[in-house]
Structure 1
Amino acid sequence: MSSTSSVPPWDVHRPPAAEGRVFLVTGGNAGIGYFVAEQLSATGATVVLGCRDPARAAAAAASIRSTVPGARVRTVRLDLADPSSTAAVARSLEEDRLDAVVHNAGVALDDPPRRVTGAGHELMFGTNHLGHFALTWSLMPLLAAAPAARVVTVGSFAARSERLDPDDLQSLGDYRPKRAYGRSKLAQMYFGLELDRRLRAAGSPVASVVVHPGGALDALTPARPALSASAAPARWAAAPAGLLVQGKHAGAWPAVRAVLDPAVRGGELWGPRVFGLRGEPRREPVWKYLADRRAAARLWDASCELTGTGRGPDGARWAG
C-alpha cells in the first residue's frame, strides 16, 4: 500500500491527536476563534487563548473545558491594538516553543466615524493586520524552536471584492467602514502569503498558511456558554441560509486543518469546499490578485515602517 493511500481522509469531526503541542489562537474567546480553540483542544494539545478582555477569556476557557473533558486550555492577555501587548505575549506564554499561532482576532466596525489605535493607526487596519504583523515577530523565536511550526492567518471571503490602495492603507482619504474592514482582511492575506515566501527563502522550518471561513453566521452556530446564543426566531429565519453558508463552528474547519494536517503546505489558501462559502475545508487556488508579489512586498515594507518590526538584527527589512 502506498504512503498516500495509507493516510486516512480528513475528518473535520475527528482531527488527529496533537498531545504535547502548543497552539495560540488570537481572539479565541468568541466567534470562529472560539471554535478553532475548542476543536484544537479536543486533540489533546495545549491551547492558549489570546484575548483583550480577561473576563471573556476566562468564560471561553471554562466553556471549552465543559465541552471538551480534560481540555488543556489557558489564557494570556493580548491587545492587538497595543504594541506593548503584542511585544509581551511571547514572555507571557511561558513556553519554550510554539507549534502554531492562529491569527484570528479582528475588529469590524459598521458605522463612522473613523477610529484609531493608541499608536494612531486606523483601528481595523491597525488591529487586524498591523497587530498580527507585529505579533508574528514577537513569537518567531518560539515558532522557530518547534520542529514544523505554522502561522495560520484567517482572512475573509469579504476581502475577495476589495483591493488595497497602497497610497491610503489607513483610509485617511475616503473612510468607509465595511470597505476598510475588507481591506484590513485582504492585507492579512497578503501578509500570510508574503511571509511564507520569505520563510522559504530563509530556509526556515516555519510555514505560513492562509485560510478563510466562507460564510459563517451566528444563527447557524451551536450554542456555547461563553457565546451569545441566537434567539430561536433568528435560528428559524436563518435556516434557509444553511444551503449557502454555515455556522461559525464549521467556519473554523479550514484553520483547524491548516494547523494540524501534515499535507497542508506553506503558501497555500484553504477555504470551504462549496463555492468557497460552506462545507468541509479544501485547498483552493490563490486568488489572482493575491499572487501579486509587488503589491505584497510594498505592503510588507509599509508594515515594517508602521510597526517598527519585521526587520533583521542589522536593521534591514526581514527577508526570511
Structure 2
Amino acid sequence: MSSVPQTPPWDVHRLPRADGKNFLVTGGNAGIGYFVAEQLAATGATVVLGSRDPAKAGAAIASIASRVPGAELGHLPLDLADPASLRTTVDALGLDRLDAVVHNAGVALDRPPRRETAAGHELMFATNHLGHFSLTHHLAPLLMATPGSRIVTTGSFAAKSERLDLDDLQSTRDYRPKRAYARSKLAQMLFALELDRRLRAAGSATLSVLVHPGGALDSLTPSRPPIHVRTARERLGHLPLGLVVQGKDAAAWPAVRAVLDPGVRGGRMLSPRAFGLRGTPRTEPLWNHLTDTTTAAILWAASSDLTGHEPTFTAATRPGGAEGTTALTVPGL
C-alpha cells in the first residue's frame, strides 16, 4: 500500500489560509477583479486593489470589509494607460514582498471611434496589454524578493478565435472595437506564456500562470451594493443562461486558484471546467495559437520597444551560486 499523501481536490469554497501574504489585484474595484479580491481577502492575506478611481476603490474596500471581518485591504492608485506613472505607483506600494499580482484590469470599447492614450497607443491594447507588461517590469524586484511568487494574467475566451496582426498591433489601419479588444486579450495571454518561458530560462522561482474566466454575466452575479446591484427580475430573466455561463463571482475562481493552489505550475492555463465557460477551475490544454512561440517573442520585443521596458528579474544568486542579475531573455531571440 502506498503511503504517499493524496492532494485533496481543489474546493472553491474552502480556500487555504494565506496569512502574512501580500496580493495585488489590478482592477480589483469592480467586476471579476472585485470578487478575486474578496475571495483572497477571506484567506487572511493582505489584498491591495489597484484602481484609477479612489472613490470606487473605497467602495470596494468597504464592501469586502463588511463581508470579511478583519480583512486586510489597501488601495494602490493605478493607471495602466499611463506607463510613465507606473514606477511611482509601484514605489508607493510600501511592501517588502509581493506573493502574487493578478493582472485583471481591462477596458472594453464596443463602438468607434478608435481612442488613444496620451502616449499615442490604442487604448485597449495599451491598458490591457502594454500597461501590465510595464507593471511586471516595475514589480520584478518585489516578486523576486518573495519565494514562490506568482504573476497571474487574465485572458479571455474572446481571444480563442482571434490572431494577432503583427504589422498592425494597435489597429491603426482597420479598427473594429470587438476585434481590437479580443486581440488585446490575446496579447496578454501570449505575454503570460512567453514570460513563463523566460522565467524558467532565467532559473527564477517566480511562476507565470494564465487564466481565463469563461462567460460571466452581471445578471448572474450576486449583488454587492453600491458596486453591483442585481434585481430579482434580472436574475430570474437570465436564469436559463446559468446552464451555459456564470456570474462574476464564479468567474473569479480560476485566478484565485492560480494564486493559492500549491500544485499550480507556470505556463499552464486555468479555466472553467464546462467547455471553458462555466464551473470550477481546472487546467485546460493551451489553445493551438497560444503555443506559437515565434509570435510571442515578436510581441515581447514590440512591447519592449513601445513601453521602453523589459521585465528583468534580479536573483540573489544565479543558478550555480554566482551573484548577479538575471534578465528575462532567451538565448537566440
Residue 254 of structure 1: aligned partner: 254
8 Å contact kept, 1:27–1:50: yes
User: Which secondary structure does the structure 2 equivalent of 1:97 belong to?
Assistant: coil
Equivalence map 1:39-188=2 (5 Å) = 39-188=39-188
Residue identity matched to 1:298: I
- Give per-residue Cα distances to partners, 1:177-235, cap 9 Å, x unaligned: 00000000000000000000000000011110000000010100010124221333222
Change (3 A) 1:242 1:152: same
User: Matched residues in 1 for 2:169 and 2:5: separation?
Assistant: 44
2: distance between equivalents of 1:2 and 1:190? 40
Would the alpha carbon gap of residues 234 and 171 (structure 1) be closer, same or farther in structure 2, given more than 3 Å must change? Answer: same
Structure 2 residue identity aligned to 1:231: T
Preserved CA contact (<8 Å) 1:29 1:226: no
Say whether the 8 Å CA contact 1:51–1:76 is kept in structure 2: yes
Residue 232 and residue 195 in structure 1: after superposition, are their counterparts in 2 closer, same or farther (change >3 A)? Answer: same
Give CA-to-partner distance per residue, 1:114-143, whole Å, 9 cap, x none: 001111100000000000000000000000
Provide the rounded CA distance (Å) in 1 between the counterparts of 2:250 and 2:170. 31
Note closer, same or farther for the CA distance 1:2–1:271 as it changes in structure 2 (3 Å cut): farther
Q: What aligned pairs does 1:214-293 form with structure 2 within 5 A after superposition?
A: 214-293=214-293
Residues in 2 aligned to 1:187 and 1:47: alpha-carbon distance in whole angstroms: 26
How much has 1:91 moved relative to structure 2? 1.1
| Alpha-carbon separation, structure 2, partners of 1:52 and 1:205 | 31
Q: Deviations over 1:237-278 (max 9, x none)?
A: 210000000000000000000000010000000100001000
Distance 1:67 1:225 in 2: 12
**Matched letter for residue 98 of structure 1:** L
1:4 shift after superposition: 4.6
Pairwise CA RMSD = 1.4
Residues 112 and 19 from structure 1, CA distance in 2 versus in 1: closer, same or farther, beyond 3 angstroms?
same
Distance 1:34 1:183 in 2: 24
1:32 aligns to what? 32
- Larger mean CA deviation between 296-305 and 89-98 belongs to 89-98
| CA-CA distance at 1:2 after TM superposition | 4.1
Q: Contact between 1:301 and 1:317, CA under 8 Å: does it hold in 2?
A: no
Corresponding position of 2:202:
202
TM-score for the superposition, normalised by structure 1: 0.96
**Structure 2: which amino acid aligns with 1:305?**
D
Q: For residue 25 of structure 1, give the secondary structure of its aligned residue in structure 2.
A: strand
Equivalent position amino acid for 1:20 in 2 = G
TM-score (norm 2): 0.93
Q: Distance in 1 between matches of 2:18 and 2:328?
A: 31
- Cα separation, 1, equivalents of 2:268 and 2:58: 33
Show the counterpart of 1:319.
329
After superposition, the C-alpha distances for 1:49-71 in whole angstroms (9 at most, x for unaligned) are: 00010100011001000011111
In structure 2, the partner of 1:190 is 190
Counterpart Cα distance in 2 of 1:196 and 1:219? 35
Kept in 2: contact 1:88–1:138 (CA 8 A)? no
How far, CA to CA, are the matches of 1:206 and 1:262 in structure 2?
Answer: 13
How far apart in 2 are the matches of 1:137 and 1:30? 25
Which consecutive unaligned segments of at least 5 residues does structure 2 have?
315-325
